[in-house]
Chain A
Amino acid sequence: MGCSSSLPDRSSGRLVGPNSENGGAPDSKNLRVKLVLLGDSGVGKSCIVLRFVRGQFDPTSKVTVGASFLSQTIALQDSTTVKFEIWDTAGQERYAALAPLYYRGAAVAVVVYDITSPESFSKAQYWVKELQKHGSPDIVMALVGNKADLHEKREVSVQEGIDYAEKNGMFFIETSAKTADNINQLFEEIAKRLPRPTAQ
């Protein structure tokens, strides 16, 4: 149907680690990274992604089904670019067993909780343990306390987040997808922490 040129490409495995390239020329200046978001339902994973990728915020909650796939490229100050291929997973319990499908081979895991919900903080800890057991050994993990704009309803203190993240070798940040606070910082910080390809 006039598209045979794209045929050879389709069978190539595309599970991308930090060092693998998109079939094109290998390039240490242009990273391509698989990132997975995990966390309880309703903590704002999709909102974080949509704020980061499209600069939008939709207050009406749209329950994610399975997992959504989005990508966004950012440029760092050292003139490298990082293309994030983001798996925004559903927080619903029924998808928990299928999570490995999405975090397998991921270079980055962003574990999100809602600072107004201690239950979501416990759930975040569950995901961290799960990733430590079954994720890639060199995975970069970030712990994100979202809905930071709702500080008057806060139930998980900043210190609790920092302590847990430190104990588990994670990077910690509080964000608000609603106000866009710290959203870009989150992804920039992740990009900085990525292991760089050794071959220059």
Chain B
Amino acid sequence: MLSRPMSSGSTSSTSADDSPGPASPKSVEAQLGSVALSEPVAELASAANQEARNGVDFATAGEGGDDDEEDADRGGEEGPVGGAEEEVWADYGGAGGLAAAEEVGEGLGGGGVVWGRTNSELEVDEPASPSSSGYAGERGSSGASSGELEIGEVVEDEIQEPRSGDGVLDSQASWVPGKRHVDEDDASVSWRKRKKHFFILSHSGKPIYSRYGDEHKLAGFSATLQAIISFVENGGDRVKFVRAGKHQVVFLVKGPIYLVCISCTEEPYESLRGQLELMYGQMILILTKSVNRCFEKNPKFDMTPLLGGTDVVFSSLIHSFSCNPATFLHAYTCLPLALATRQAAVAILQDVADSGVLFAILMCKHKVVSLVGAQKASLHPDDMLLLANFVMSSESFRTSESFSPICLPRYNPMAFLYAYVHYFDVDTYLMLLTTSSDAFYHLKDCRMRIEMVLLKSNVLSEIQRSLLDGGMHVEDLPVDPIPRSSSLPSHLSQPKPPTDSPERFRETCDGIAGPAGLWHFIYRSVFLDQYVSSEFPAPISSPRQQKRLYRAYQKLYASMHEKGIGPHKTQFRRDENYVLLCWVTQDFELYAAFDPLADRALAIKTCNRVCQWVKDVENEIFLLGASPFSW
């Protein structure tokens, strides 16, 4: 599917501007048939059936290559984890779930191809006819692969994980927003080696966005993706994903907009699909869903000019998929602040919201300082994520105060709201949203009132201090759930003492992490739609290690939220990187990572302590009460 000959073939048949929108049935069949089905169909079909029943496979817990960004070229140093893995699942109905999934995973092996579909079985049974696309010569004999589907091999030849030594890019280098590698296209070797591609295209196959490479040069490739989607749709079905070797191709159809992710990052299907949903949401935030009308008028409508200058918004969102847990937790996080400080910020925002502002949001980077909504208005955490990403990635907001139309996809995907945005300092910004297009001067006045109050009550300096201190550090985890009277742990409201304070005893195993080998945790409050994530300790200090941990959490999240396997309460996994423990109740979800040698019983005990600790300091780490998140 990713082979170069194919895309060049499809260029000639579908991509030119004067050709009809949807590819002609003949060329689609030729493309699909010749790529996917040069080998026995039976195996493909049975594999697909099994896969469809079992959903995502859990066969590999290790993160083969965890870098799909600039540092990708160093990927070879960490291979997939094969052997030692300990898994304990508790409280789920039926014993077959994981075992079955694992069997399927192993059975498919490296070169297998799996088609995931919403219903029915595979019915693609056209014979291979490579000649019609004009690339028979380049493919060689279709019988060459023994027993494995050829697409797997083709794909592995075409897009592969970069080997170590391919480049010397520093994985520690801080991420710079913006689109890179615009000179690439699907004919470039480097383009094929990228670990994670994202594409947005129109239902006529016109490219709208590509993470790497120039959209216009990828017209042929886009047309191929469109052909695959419409081929399956013509059969009254819908393609969810295709697995080809290490690669997964995930499709999401939103009316006339198609979104595709091609990834070899081993992320679960549900996660990648969630990421595509966010990509779509980001597009709606910029344009509203009324962009669909352009396609009703003209199916061949070219949407790229409408998104001019927004590459940076999408690339920053894609970057956050691997460094911001909000992208898979569907929750937001707050900047830790003393209760009185946050209350002061909430009070002034509330005052402003009562004067006709729909939402007033004060944020520091991607963390919420305070947030107030007008009566009955509720803001979805995903909308907050997309809004914050939009504002933070668009440099012009930092230059001066702005007034810009934006759409909140979960609030109302059809209509624009107007956002007044103002940065108080490099990190802290205020967003006032309104439905009225001429409210700018009113919002500007509101901002001046808010700024005055924030300065008077030292909120802005407290924000800076909290940013410096960080949030919860695992090494500060109290030894025993101490019933606290009134005093809260000092580190959340005061600078951390350089040495252990006498009143707080630390049970640090080796001085680099928390007790019992606790490295990190994320606690998500179900009712509040908020999460708190601990600071990263030394063993997980590099962005690369953090990304790997987030991916592991993400996998855990997907497995705990998967429908059909039963309600999991706890999950315990051990591989060579970590011990991961997950605990889901009606009130909260806890994800914790420990040293790989951590003791299981101790780890469980530690998780209980973490939960108690979070409850003890919830006034400072969460935005409580009067939550507008009440849908």
Shortest distance from the beta carbon of B435 to any chain A beta carbon, whole Å = 13
* Contact A3 to B452, CB < 8 A, known contacts A10-B355, A15-B438, A63-B394: yes
Return the CB mask of B294-321 against A: 1 if under 8 Å, else 0.
0000000000011111101000000000
Q: Which residue of B lies closest to A98 (CB)?
A: B405
Pair B402/A94 contact, Cβ less than 8 Å: no
Return the CB mask of B437-455 against A: 1 if under 8 Å, else 0.
1101110111011001100
Inter-chain contacts of B306 with A (CB < 8 A): 92-94
Pair A93/B305 contact, Cβ less than 8 Å: yes
Q: Is A62 positioned at the interface, with any CB of B under 8 Å from its CB? A: yes
Pair B438/A65 contact, Cβ less than 8 Å: no
Shortest distance from the beta carbon of A48 to any chain B beta carbon, whole Å = 13
Pair A63/B309 contact, Cβ less than 8 Å: yes
In the complex, which residues 369-422 of chain B have their Cβ closer than 8 Å to any Cβ of chain A? 390, 394-397, 399-405, 419
What range describes how many residues of B lie at the interface?
Answer: 35 or more
Inter-chain contacts of A88 with B (CB < 8 A): 400
Which of A6, A11, A46 touches B449 (beta carbons < 8 Å)? A6
Inter-chain contacts of A7 with B (CB < 8 A): 449
Distance in angstroms between the alpha carbons of A63 and B518 in the assembled complex: 44
Pair A1/B348 contact, Cβ less than 8 Å: yes
* Contact A66 to B355, CB < 8 A, known contacts A3-B449, A3-B453: no
Inter-chain contacts of A66 with B (CB < 8 A): 402-405, 419
Return the CB mask of A59-102 against B: 1 if under 8 Å, else 0.
00011111111100000000000000000101011110010010
Q: Is A41 positioned at the interface, with any CB of B under 8 Å from its CB? A: yes
Among A11, A63, A94: residue with most chain B CB under 10 A: A94
Inter-chain contacts of B456 with A (CB < 8 A): 2
In the complex, which residues 24-67 of chain A have their Cβ closer than 8 Å to any Cβ of chain B? 41, 46, 50, 62-67
Q: Is B522 positioned at the interface, with any CB of A under 8 Å from its CB? A: no
Shortest distance from the beta carbon of A91 to any chain B beta carbon, whole Å = 9
Pair B448/A6 contact, Cβ less than 8 Å: yes
Pair A94/B307 contact, Cβ less than 8 Å: yes
Q: Is B287 positioned at the interface, with any CB of A under 8 Å from its CB? A: yes
Pair B437/A68 contact, Cβ less than 8 Å: no
What range describes how many residues of A lie at the interface?
Answer: 20 to 34
Q: Taking chain B's interface residues, is the majority helix, strand, or loop, or is none over half, making it mixed?
A: helix
* Contact A65 to B404, CB < 8 A, known contacts A1-B351, A3-B452, A10-B355: yes
Q: Is A14 positioned at the interface, with any CB of B under 8 Å from its CB? A: yes
Q: Which residue of A lies closest to B419 (CB)?
A: A66
Q: Is B286 positioned at the interface, with any CB of A under 8 Å from its CB? A: yes
* Contact A67 to B403, CB < 8 A, known contacts A1-B347, A11-B442, A15-B438: yes
Q: Which residue of B lies closest to A63 (CB)?
A: B309
In the complex, which residues 491-550 of chain B have their Cβ closer than 8 Å to any Cβ of chain A? none
Q: Is A9 positioned at the interface, with any CB of B under 8 Å from its CB? A: yes
Which of B308, B440, B452 touches A69 (beta carbons < 8 Å)? B440
Inter-chain contacts of B347 with A (CB < 8 A): 1
Pair B395/A62 contact, Cβ less than 8 Å: yes
Shortest distance from the beta carbon of A101 to any chain B beta carbon, whole Å = 5
Distance in angstroms between the alpha carbons of A95 and B441 in the assembled complex: 20
Inter-chain contacts of A2 with B (CB < 8 A): 452-453, 456
Distance in angstroms between the alpha carbons of A67 and B419 in the assembled complex: 10
Distance in angstroms between the alpha carbons of A14 and B445 in the assembled complex: 10
Pair B404/A69 contact, Cβ less than 8 Å: no
* Contact A46 to B442, CB < 8 A, known contacts A41-B308, A66-B403: no
Shortest distance from the beta carbon of B238 to any chain A beta carbon, whole Å = 30
Which of B305, B344, B396, B448 touches A65 (beta carbons < 8 Å)? B396
CB within 8 Å: A-B pair count: 94
In the complex, which residues 148-193 of chain A have their Cβ closer than 8 Å to any Cβ of chain B? none
Inter-chain contacts of A65 with B (CB < 8 A): 390, 394, 396-397, 402, 404
Pair B437/A10 contact, Cβ less than 8 Å: no
Q: Which residue of B lies closest to A10 (CB)?
A: B445
Distance in angstroms between the alpha carbons of A70 and B348 in the assembled complex: 25
Inter-chain contacts of B287 with A (CB < 8 A): 94
Which of B308, B312, B400, B403 touches A92 (beta carbons < 8 Å)? B308
Pair A10/B442 contact, Cβ less than 8 Å: yes
Inter-chain contacts of B396 with A (CB < 8 A): 46, 62-65, 68
Distance in angstroms between the alpha carbons of A63 and B316 in the assembled complex: 15
Which of A3, A10, A94 touches B308 (beta carbons < 8 Å)? A94
Inter-chain contacts of B399 with A (CB < 8 A): 46, 50, 62, 68
Inter-chain contacts of B307 with A (CB < 8 A): 94
Distance in angstroms between the alpha carbons of A10 and B354 in the assembled complex: 13
Inter-chain contacts of B404 with A (CB < 8 A): 65-67, 90
Q: Which residue of A lies closest to B348 (CB)?
A: A1
Shortest distance from the beta carbon of A121 to any chain B beta carbon, whole Å = 18
Shortest distance from the beta carbon of B416 to any chain A beta carbon, whole Å = 8
Q: Which residue of A lies closest to B444 (CB)?
A: A69
Among A9, A14, A63, A104: residue with most chain B CB under 10 A: A63
Distance in angstroms between the alpha carbons of A14 and B443 in the assembled complex: 11
Shortest distance from the beta carbon of A96 to any chain B beta carbon, whole Å = 10
Distance in angstroms between the alpha carbons of A94 and B437 in the assembled complex: 16
Pair B441/A41 contact, Cβ less than 8 Å: no
Return the CB mask of B322-348 against A: 1 if under 8 Å, else 0.
000000000000000000000010011
Distance in angstroms between the alpha carbons of A11 and B436 in the assembled complex: 13
Shortest distance from the beta carbon of B19 to any chain A beta carbon, whole Å = 24
Q: Which residue of A lies closest to B456 (CB)?
A: A2
Q: Which residue of B lies closest to A42 (CB)?
A: B309
Distance in angstroms between the alpha carbons of A64 and B446 in the assembled complex: 23
Inter-chain contacts of A101 with B (CB < 8 A): 437-438
Inter-chain contacts of A1 with B (CB < 8 A): 344, 347-348, 351, 449, 453
Q: Which residue of B lies closest to A64 (CB)?
A: B396
Q: Which residue of A lies closest to B391 (CB)?
A: A65
Q: Which residue of B lies closest to A70 (CB)?
A: B400
Inter-chain contacts of A93 with B (CB < 8 A): 305-306, 308
Inter-chain contacts of A92 with B (CB < 8 A): 306, 308-309
Inter-chain contacts of B445 with A (CB < 8 A): 6, 9-10
Shortest distance from the beta carbon of B417 to any chain A beta carbon, whole Å = 11
Inter-chain contacts of B355 with A (CB < 8 A): 10
User: Can you identify 25 A-B contacts, CB atoms within 8 angstroms?
Assistant: A1-B344, A1-B348, A6-B445, A6-B448, A6-B449, A14-B440, A46-B396, A62-B395, A63-B394, A63-B396, A64-B402, A65-B404, A66-B402, A66-B403, A67-B404, A69-B401, A70-B400, A90-B309, A93-B305, A93-B308, A94-B286, A94-B307, A98-B405, A98-B437, A101-B437
Besides A3-B449, A63-B394, 10 new A-B residue pairs in contact (Cβ under 8 A), listed by A number: A2-B452, A2-B456, A3-B452, A11-B442, A65-B396, A65-B404, A69-B400, A92-B306, A94-B307, A101-B437
B interface residue numbers (CB < 8 A to A): 286-287, 305-310, 312, 344, 347-348, 351, 355, 390, 394-397, 399-405, 419, 437-438, 440-442, 444-446, 448-449, 452-453, 456
8 nearest interchain CB pairs?
A66-B404, A14-B441, A63-B309, A62-B395, A10-B445, A64-B396, A68-B400, A65-B394
